[in-house]
Amino acid sequence: MKIQRATAVAVMVAAAAVTLTGCGSNGEQEHTGRDDHQVIDPLPPQEIDADQTAITAMQMILSWQPAVDTSKSDALLRAQRYLGGDLLAVAQSDTRAEVRPDADWQQWAASKDALTATCARSDSTPAAPAGMRTLVIDVACTQTVLHATGQSTRLTPEQWRTTVTRTDDGWRLTEYRFEQ
């Protein structure tokens, strides 16, 4: 009898809590989520490991806004804080404008499309001895075209070989190349 009474009380308390949750509103629910393709700021390079540095940098390098960017090299500017060595020097120099444009760049620009990249560490990453200051990390990246119409088109995944180097201020991407 005590168990039934306790169960009945628990059910009534739960029902009251659910009912009270809706009180004070005019029946409209407040939505806090967003679907506007906002970029979430990644952690600073001082707070992430070598793998995450390669992934974060490549996602930034392969994410483009053709209607706004003058070329794909503008993505290098956005990724600067994750870059080091010669790659950082290229990002900061005038030679970055010489990056070969994508065949669909003009079409994406005219359509006001944007591209976002998602990358992950690949199983093909070579093993490295512990304590190395320079690592090779393979990443698989998939770009998705975000059309102004609200639709999206996923492009063929690509494999990239990256090199990251430990600095006194965290890991930095120092080189990347497309792997076929």
Over residues 10-65, the pLDDT tens digits come to: 434 344 333 333 444 444 334 344 444 445 678 999 999 999 999 999 999 999 99
Give the SS3 label for residue 157: coil
Model pLDDT for residues 83-118, shown as the tens digit of each residue: 999 999 989 887 665 667 788 999 999 999 999 999
Is the full-model pTM beyond 0.85?
no
Give the SS3 label for residue 140: strand
Give the SS3 label for residue 162: strand
CB proximity list for 58: less than 8 A, separation 6 or greater: 117, 119, 139, 141, 160, 162, 173, 176
Give the span between the Cα atoms of 109 and 121, in whole angstroms: 30
Q: Are 91 and 61 in contact (CB under 8 A)?
A: no
What separation, in Å, do the N-terminal and C-terminal C-alpha atoms of the chain show? 72
Tokens of 101: 């444009």
Mind listing the domains of the chain with CATH numbers? 44-179 (3.10.450)
Dihedral angle at the C-alpha atoms of 101, 103, 108, 109, nearest 10 degrees? 40
At residue 6, the pLDDT reads: 41
